[in-house]
Amino acid sequence: MRQIVESNNWQVAIGVCAAVLSTVIGPLAWCAGTGEAGTPYPNMPRIAPPGVQIDYYLAVPPSARGPFVDPAMGYRTQKLGQGLYLVTDNMYQSMFLVYDSGVVVIDAPPSYAEHIPEAIAKVTPLSITHLIYSHSHIDHIGGASGIPGRPIIIAQRETKRLIEEANDAHRPVPTVVFDRDYTLRVGSQVLKLSYHGYGHAPGNIYIYAPAQQVLMVVDVISPGWMPYRSLSLSRDIPGLFRQVDEIANMPFSTLVGGHVARIGDRQDVIVQKQYMHDLAVAAKHSLSDTSFGFTVDPLDHENPWALADNYMDRATIECVNAMTDKWASRLAAFDAYIWDHCFAMEESLRAD
C-alpha cells in the first residue's frame, strides 16, 4: 500500500515501491511521484509506445517505396494513361486530366501545388478549366487558391459546407456541388464522382476514370503502408471498414490514395482489408480479455478516468502484441502507428 506525502508541492508516493527499490539500488532510491511513469505494465510490446522516442524506425520494405523525387524539383509526374497524370512529392498525391480543350486538376496539396501548372505545362499548353476537391482537408486542397484560370470547382455538398464554415481563403468555395453522383464529361474524357458516406471525412468522394481504370480515394487506402494515425483520422471507423470492402470489389486497375510514395492496385486494397480485419479481431479480444481495475491502486478506485486509462493501456498492449509478429514487416511504418490504431479500434468497438 502506498503512502502519500507532500514534497515541494508534489505528492510523492512512497511505501512498498521505495522499500523494494532501496533493496536494489540503495537507501536513496527514487520512487515515481503521482502522475509520473511508474512500474512498467507486464508484457510490454517491443514496439515503442507513444511518447517514447524511436531511435531507429523499422526499415521501409522495398515494396512500399516509390520512384525518386528530385529534391530540387520538389515533385514528380507519372503517366496513368490516356491523358491522366499523377503529381506527387512522394508524401501527397494529386492528379490532372488532359482533355480536348483543357485540363481538369484533382486536388491541390499545398506542399507542391505551386508546381502543378508547370507539371501540366510539360505535358500540354492547354489551360486549367476545372478543379475537383476530393474532400475539404487543407492538406489536400490548401493550394487551391493558387491554381490559375479561375476554374470551375466541383465537390460533394458536405465538402462545400465544411469549406464555408472554415472560411479559408486558401480553399475557394466549390461552384458545382452534388450529393451522391456526378459525371464530368469534358471532350472525350470522363470522370465519375461518387459519395459513399463519412468514412475518413464528411464529403470525401471516390473519383473514377473509367477509360484509364484509375480510382482515386484519398486518405482511405495507403498502398504498402500503415494508414495514418487513428486509422487515417477517420471520423467514422465502421464507415471506413465498409468503404475498404467496397473499394476491394470495384473495377479499377490503379489506385491513387492521396498519400505515400507510390500508386496502388487491388492487392494493396486486399492487404489493407486483411490488416484492418486482423486489427478488429485483436482489439475485440483484447477488450474482452482485459479486466477492469486489475492493477489500479485501491486509492485510485474512486477515479473513473484512472480505471479507464489503466484498462485501455492494458488492452492496447495486448492488441499491439497480437498484431506485431504478422504485420511489423508487411506494412511500412508499423512502429509509427500500431499503438494508435489499436487504441482507435478499441474505442470504436466500445462506442460505435
In whole angstroms, how close is the CB of 178 to Zn ion at the nearest point?
19
- Binding segment (CB under 5 A) for Zn ion, from list 30-38, 84-92, 214-222, 237-245: 214-222
Q: What is the DSSP string of 116-162?
A: HHHHHHTT-SPPEEEEE-S-S-HHHHTTGGG-SS--EEEEEHHHHHH
Task: Report the residue number, 153 or 287, with the smaller CB distance to Zn ion.
Answer: 153
- Binding segment (CB under 5 A) for Zn ion, from list 49-57, 171-179, 213-221, 277-285: 213-221
Binding-site string for Zn ion from residue 224 to residue 243, where x marks contact by CB under 5 A and - marks none: --------------------
In terms of DSSP bridges, do strands 128-132 and 102-106 run parallel, antiparallel, or are they unpaired? Answer: parallel
In whole angstroms, how close is the CB of 135 to Zn ion at the nearest point?
6
Task: Report the residue number, 2 or 137, with the smaller CB distance to Zn ion.
Answer: 137
Q: What is the DSSP string of 80-107?
A: EETTEEEEE-SSBEEEEEEETTEEEEE-
Distance in Å from the first CA to the final CA of the chain:
38
d(CA 254, CA 204): 19
d(CA 151, CA 143): 13
DSSP state of 228: P
In whole angstroms, how close is the CB of 201 to Zn ion at the nearest point?
5
Contact 191, 213 (CB under 8 A): no
Task: Report the residue number, 172 or 210, with the smaller CB distance to Zn ion.
Answer: 172
Can you say whether the dihedral through the CA atoms of 316, 317, 321, 327 is positive or negative? positive
Closest residue to bound Zn ion by CB: 137
Instruction: Name the residue type at position 91.
Output: M
In whole angstroms, how close is the CB of 219 to Zn ion at the nearest point?
4
The H or E element that residue 344 is part of is helix 334-351
In whole angstroms, how close is the CB of 206 to Zn ion at the nearest point?
14
Task: Report the residue number, 137 or 314, with the smaller CB distance to Zn ion.
Answer: 137
Distance set, CA 201 to CA 131, 137, 196, 234 (Å):
19, 9, 11, 6
Binder of Zn ion out of 107, 219, 335, 340 (CB under 5 A): 219
Grid coordinates 500503415 are at which residue?
226
- Binding segment (CB under 5 A) for Zn ion, from list 81-89, 95-103, 142-150, 215-223: 215-223
In whole angstroms, how close is the CB of 134 to Zn ion at the nearest point?
8
In whole angstroms, how close is the CB of 218 to Zn ion at the nearest point?
6
In whole angstroms, how close is the CB of 208 to Zn ion at the nearest point?
19
Task: Report the residue number, 158 or 219, with the smaller CB distance to Zn ion.
Answer: 219
Task: Report the residue number, 13 or 237, with the smaller CB distance to Zn ion.
Answer: 237
Task: Report the residue number, 219 or 318, with the smaller CB distance to Zn ion.
Answer: 219
All three cell numbers of 16: 512498498
- Number of other CB atoms surrounding residue 76 within 10 Å: 19
Contact 290, 301 (CB under 8 A): no
Residue 118: which residues within 8 A CB-CB, separation 6 or more? none
Site for Zn ion in 106-165 (CB under 5 A): 137
Task: Report the residue number, 151 or 202, with the smaller CB distance to Zn ion.
Answer: 202
Task: Report the residue number, 92 or 343, with the smaller CB distance to Zn ion.
Answer: 92
Can you say whether the dihedral through the CA atoms of 159, 165, 169, 170 is positive or negative? negative
Binding-site string for Zn ion from residue 166 to residue 205, where x marks contact by CB under 5 A and - marks none: ----------------------------------------
Count interface residues toward Zn ion (CB under 5 A): 2
Site for Zn ion in 23-42 (CB under 5 A): none
In whole angstroms, how close is the CB of 140 to Zn ion at the nearest point?
6
User: Contact positions toward Zn ion, by CB under 5 A?
Assistant: 137, 219
